[in-house]
Structure 1
């Protein structure tokens, strides 16, 4: 499968800010899209320019085949983003996007780019044990899991036309996220900040604390009330944290 390396296909700039002092690259969750980070971009501009990643197989890339291998995605995004990381830059990823952000950060650091910080949200550390196979289940079971986590309006997923549009990318993303495993090798030297909801069924505090083993640059854990999509209810606090850290 040929995957485009055209940055204009992979990256969305909702609020271009050429005079920004830093950039923040945001990686969506499984089934998510770049538009999820539009409010973050609006809140941080123009001091911080937000670049939101758009995976194949959704929204304006719906005609492309989704990618079900996180390592393949990381390889492609490292090639795409290397030109976007010449100045001060940080990564933020939620759920699957956190694992992907980490893998892209590893690849870029091997090329000489060190991030200001890596923010990993709602995701266990790569070395945390897991055995999830939701991607192998039927459509109804997969959608039930998405509804359980609360990131998408259940009424939207009950619409037959929308279901047919989102299911291929959703299943592909779940496969990429669930089959991802840590490959030993150089990690990162930038600080890692893990953010979790205190009642998230997908990640425990112990799972999140294992992120400390993946960096030599310091680690923090921030806990918020809520589940897997705690950040929907605490967007102002999370954006405030990002603004404070990137404004230093």
Structure 2
């Protein structure tokens, strides 16, 4: 029975390889699925203007998962250009050490990469690696009431506003398309993106600025269709 199972599995794999068309120059590939941004953040301390200064150990940024839309164009059998796009991500921000919710942000991180397909022009699995550039547009920043209350108690602020600068940085990736048929495949991919920003908390008492390196790992699991 075990030998029959192994033979059946081998037949399925072989059939997938036979039915899967090779990636070739001029092909369009559209990938879509669930993409998760998992920040590997490193934050400066937050120094509040008290006497003596109150120092808080930076912030942390949580994960978020959205819908990915990733078009790819094969420039040659082995080289392609890809655009990573997704529906807007939303992240909650927490003040480290004290566990106070600081607020939330939304962002769009479009990333353009040049990719290399070592098996381009051949049937079967299509692994790839790539490198490119990212521009992260951060918007809709909101201060959490818990942080507003803490700032009122610490420095007497009666209003607060949060803003984060947009970011431009490099990106690297690796992934694979696992063929299901001539045109359809399962896609699994990972990116590391350099996202560095300066956060500002503006109050009626003063402004506090600190750097945050978000630097997320980005994971995509979905499907791919070759045109």
TM-score range, shorter chain: under 0.3
Structure showing greater relative contact order (alpha-carbon pairs closer than 8 Å, 6 or more residues apart) = 2
> Hey, which of these two has a bigger chunk of helix by percent?
1
Q: TM-score, normalised by structure 2?
A: 0.25
Q: TM-score, normalised by structure 1?
A: 0.23
> Hey, which of these two has a bigger chunk of strand by percent?
2
Structure number, greater radius of gyration: 2
